[in-house]
Amino acid sequence: MNQKLLLVLIAAALAIGGCGGSDQATEASSAKSEAGHDEGEGHSEPTHVALTPEQIQAAGIVVAEAGPATIRETLPVYGVVAPNAERVRDVGARFPGVIRAVTAKIGDSVRAGETLASIESNESLQTYSVVAPLNGVVTARQANPGEQTGDKVLFTIADLATVWVELSLFPRDMAKVRVGQTVRVSSNDTGVNADGKIVYVAPFGSSANQTLTARVLLDNADRRWAPGLYVTAQVTLGENQVPLVVRNEALQTLENNNVVFVHAEEGFKPRPVRIGRADAQLSEVTEGLQAGERYAAANSYILKAELGKGSAEHED
């Protein structure tokens, strides 16, 4: 849901109060007054945004509780998904002969021991089966009925239950990366994220692009990671336990200050905070917030926009 659509939804939800008779109109007027829009209060600036649970849900605002978490020191890199070469097999004929039948095509999922083709041996004239050596997907086929097998590869089978992510490292980062480190892999196109471990760091660089390769082993049982696609990654260099964090998307800027919209009884109130260490998902709060306080952790920009609308109406 984009920003424009969310703002339209929240505006529509706020307008509902004026369409249900005098009681609802009175409630809407009261809510408006609570949000700092009452002209009888000396034109004071709005201090909070009052929303019903239904309005919060319609706007997609997520409320979370501030508390301790782990801040990761990370190294951002780029990579590409590749088949796990240790789980790829080329399949040929055991004995030269004529291909009599082919039962598998590119893209088929096969089980270990499943027949892929039937071959009539040139010497014995007996027919035998070529079978899949492992569970996987047929990624290549060079077998058609009537052809001689020769010594060529007839099928390639890839087990995609795990994949490799080949990361490109600049030489300056070589000393920071080692086998065993955790890596968060992300696809900007699909929004999918997953954690894996570095299983290999190349001892030699590439003269073509002046980079080194680090390899991440990634679980792919649900087939979310297609070989050949580009990804971004965050290599975890270190971890620090901090007593209080908020999600990065909770942070907004008001009057050059970082603020978090705290969820109180009267509504969402912007609270100035001081930020310490941060990573790609979380930011440490060193001042302005207490553990256990609830805050708008997602789509908080809608609250900032509503607060700004209240200020504009006041000026008018």
Chain segment 214-246, per-residue pLDDT in tens: 999 999 999 999 999 999 999 999 989 999 999
- The predicted-structure confidence for 163-174, as pLDDT tens digits, reads as follows 999 999 998 998
pLDDT at 111: 97
Mean pLDDT of 110-121: 97
Instruction: Supply the pLDDT for residue 312.
Output: 56
In this predicted structure, which of 46-50, 109-113, 287-291 has the lowest mean pLDDT? 46-50
Confidence of residue 33 (pLDDT cuts 50, 70, 90): very low
What 3-state class would DSSP assign to 41?
helix
* Packing angle, helices 301-315 and 3-15, rounded to 10: 60
Q: Is the pLDDT of residue 202 over 50?
A: yes
Percent of the chain with pLDDT over 90: 70
Which residue intervals of the chain bear CATH 2.40.50.100? 87-158
Q: pLDDT tens, 242-268?
A: 999 999 999 999 989 999 999 988 899
Q: Which fold has domain 3-69+241-315?
A: 2.40.420
Q: Is 189 exposed, middle or buried (0-12, 13-18, 19+ CB in 10 A)?
A: exposed
Specify the pLDDT at position 249: 94
Locate CATH 2.40.30.170 in the chain: 72-84+161-239
pLDDT for res 93: 96
Q: What is the pLDDT of residue 215?
A: 97
Is residue 35 over pLDDT 90? no
pLDDT (average), residues 98-121: 97
* CATH class of the region 87-158: mainly beta
pTM here is 0.67
For residue range 75-95, list pLDDT tens digits in order. Answer: 999 999 999 999 999 999 999
What confidence tier does 190 reach under pLDDT thresholds 50, 70, 90?
Answer: confident
In this structure, what DSSP letter does residue 96 have?
Answer: -
Q: Locate CATH 2.40.420.20 in the chain.
A: 3-69+241-315
Gap between the terminal Cα atoms of the chain: 31
Section 6-27 average pLDDT? 46
Percent helix, strand, coil in the chain, to 5, is 20, 45, 35
Q: What whole-number distance in Å separates Cα of residue 239 and Cα of residue 224?
A: 27
CATH of domain 72-84+161-239: 2.40.30.170
Res 196: pLDDT: 96
- Residues of the chain with pLDDT > 70, as a percent, come to 83
Give the whole-angstrom CA distance, residue 2 versus residue 98. Answer: 59
Using the predicted structure, report yes or no on whether residue 3 has a pLDDT greater than 60: no
- Token readout for 180 is 């065993």
